[in-house]
Structure 1
Amino acid sequence: MKAYVFPGQGAQFPGMAKDLYESSEEAKRLLEKANEILGFRITDIMFNGTDEELKQTKVTQPAIFLHSVVLAKISDSFKPDMVAGHSLGEFSALVASGVLSFEDGLKLVSQRAMAMQKACETNPSTMAAILGLEDAVVEKICNDIDEVVVAANYNCPGQLVISGSHKGIELACEAAKEAGAKRALPLPVGGAFHSPLMEPAREELEKAIDSTVFNKGICPIYQNVTAKASTDIDEIKENLKIQLTAPVRWTQSVQAMVADGATQFIESGPGKVLQGLVKKIHREAEVDSI
């Protein structure tokens, strides 16, 4: 069975999707439509912008979403038995599998980016990657600290990203090193994504999700919040609403997809980050890009 997976923030690169725009009329149409919806020419920044320009909040998330979705839309071989996306990638997966329209998915992603930016400004905070410790050890470290600090991204065994206040992350990194972590690495991000500090953004996104039409998809989606197959529209909406303040259970999602019969994982989007993570979670998996 084929599982298609969609990357999250950090996968962007200068020149992204330019080859798609130049080689496919459908890709060109979708990307030009995106420029109209967003009210600025995001394609100019994607094709010709610098790393710094691509890191702008209003650009990064829509750019990765567009690259991922357009790839799936123009691929003749896109016939998924199941889909999943890492954080932002969940929105790409929902559009590619027909749960959300292209237009609605892009609008939600744009609103999500702006809401997250506002939450970051309201609650200065950060994230760090903890390498080489069991998940349970990292969870206990977070629980024992008298600050906001939580497990945020279960990326693969031995790689867990934590999220919280600057002080909380600092204390957790020290404790992780003392517990034998190979590395405890603060990340260059603007805020504590997938933590309680994203509550203002969650509230804003919830309203946008409630006013958006969701349809029956062509296959199950394994959502970040539950790491289980969902096909029920109400369930998908509820899980999407709490995604910003809940952890990304990527390890558990891949394990669930394998248990349900996935043998091939195909990444749709810029980069190959998810292929690497899938291999670390399940060595026997076959990985590829669209």
Structure 2
Amino acid sequence: MNAYVFPGQGAQFSGMGLDLYENSEIAKELFDKANDILGFEITKIMFEGTKEELTQTKVTQPAIFLHSVILSKVLGDSFKPNMVAGHSLGEFSALVANGTLTFEDALQLVSKRAIAMQKACEIEPSTMAAVLGLEDEVVEEGCKAIEGIVVAANYNCPGQLVISGEIDAINQACEWMKEKGARRALVLAVGGAFHSPLMEPAREELAAAIEATTFSSPKCPIYQNVTAKAVTDPEEIKKNLIAQLTAPVKWTQTMQNMIEDGATSFTEVGPGKVLSGLVKKVDRSMETILASI
């Protein structure tokens, strides 16, 4: 069974999507439509922009979404997932890929999500940190031991967990993790505490937009970040997508469940190859493929 996975924020690079735009009429049409929907020329920034321009929140999230979704559309008949999942932002790409959301509706939600998250980041200084080389349970214990807001945010693979919260709490947690034997506990260059209670203002804002959007019955199950389990009911998908902003990304558990449910290969659709590497950390024998035209 083919599992198709879609990357999240951090996979962007200058020149992303240009090969699709130049070689496919379908891609060109969708990129041009995206410029109209967003109200600015995101293609110019994707194809020629500097690293700084690409890391603006209003650009990064739609850019990664567009690269992933347009690539899946260009693949046409060869794009045949039996199951899908997306890491954080990638969940929106996965929901277009399995027919739950239209391209237009999903792009509008992604844009609103990016802006809402940026606003939430500005309310209170916050950050994230990667913890390497500790059991998940030890990291969770460390988060509970610290005063202030700090939570497990991204379960990326065994031995790699990202924590999220207030700056002081994150710094204290990193020291705690190192004392417990973490190979590394490194504060990340991110705009704020994604997938933590500090994203509540963004969750509320996005919830209204998601509730107002039509969700169709999917062509195949999506394994959602919040539950790590296969979901096909549109109302349940909607509820999980709303919860996603303040809940942890259970990516390790998602990959384990997909494999348990019969996945024999993982195809990464979008910029980069981070997710393929994470699959190998869960099961070295699993076949990984990078989608390309």
Q: If the TM-score is normalised by the length of the shorter chain, which range does it land in?
A: over 0.9
Q: 1:149 matched to which residue of 2?
A: 150
Q: 1:59 matched to which residue of 2?
A: 59
Q: 1:173 matched to which residue of 2?
A: 174
Alpha-carbon distance, 1:123 to partner: 1.6
The one-character-per-residue Cα deviations of 1:149-180 (angstroms, maximum 9, x if unpaired) are: 00000000000000000011000000000000
Structure 2 counterparts to residues 85-100 of structure 1, below 5 A:
85-100=86-101
Q: 1:276 matched to which residue of 2?
A: 277
Q: Which residue identity is paired with 2:194?
A: F
The one-character-per-residue Cα deviations of 1:225-278 (angstroms, maximum 9, x if unpaired) are: 000000001100000001000000000000000000001000000000000001
Name the CA distance, whole Å, in 2 between partners of 1:259 and 1:284.
14
- Secondary structure in structure 2 of the residue aligned to 1:74: helix
The one-character-per-residue Cα deviations of 1:103-122 (angstroms, maximum 9, x if unpaired) are: 00000000000000000000
**Kindly, what percent of the aligned residue pairs are identical?**
71
| Runs of 4+ displaced beyond 2 Å | none
Name the CA distance, whole Å, in 2 between partners of 1:251 and 1:283.
14
Q: 1:218 matched to which residue of 2?
A: 219
Name the CA distance, whole Å, in 2 between partners of 1:257 and 1:168.
34
Alpha-carbon distance, 1:96 to partner: 1.0
- Secondary structure in structure 2 of the residue aligned to 1:117: helix
Q: Gaps spanning 5+ residues in structure 1: where?
A: none
Q: 1:245 matched to which residue of 2?
A: 246
Q: 2:194 matched to which residue of 1?
A: 193
Alpha-carbon RMSD across the aligned residues, in angstroms, is 0.4
Q: 2:288 matched to which residue of 1?
A: 287
1:12 and 2:16 correspond:
no
Q: 1:122 matched to which residue of 2?
A: 123
The one-character-per-residue Cα deviations of 1:81-140 (angstroms, maximum 9, x if unpaired) are: 000000000000001111000000000000000000000000210000000000000000
Name the CA distance, whole Å, in 1 between partners of 2:120 and 2:167.
15
- Secondary structure in structure 2 of the residue aligned to 1:171: helix
Q: 2:259 matched to which residue of 1?
A: 258
Aligned length: 290
Name the CA distance, whole Å, in 1 between partners of 2:141 and 2:222.
30
Q: 2:48 matched to which residue of 1?
A: 48
Alpha-carbon distance, 1:284 to partner: 1.3
Q: Which residue identity is paired with 2:219?
A: I
Name the CA distance, whole Å, in 1 between partners of 2:230 and 2:57.
30
Q: Gaps spanning 5+ residues in structure 2: where?
A: none
Name the CA distance, whole Å, in 1 between partners of 2:80 and 2:158.
29
- Secondary structure in structure 1 of the residue aligned to 2:138: helix
Q: 1:35 matched to which residue of 2?
A: 35
TM-score normalised by the chain length of structure 1: 1.00
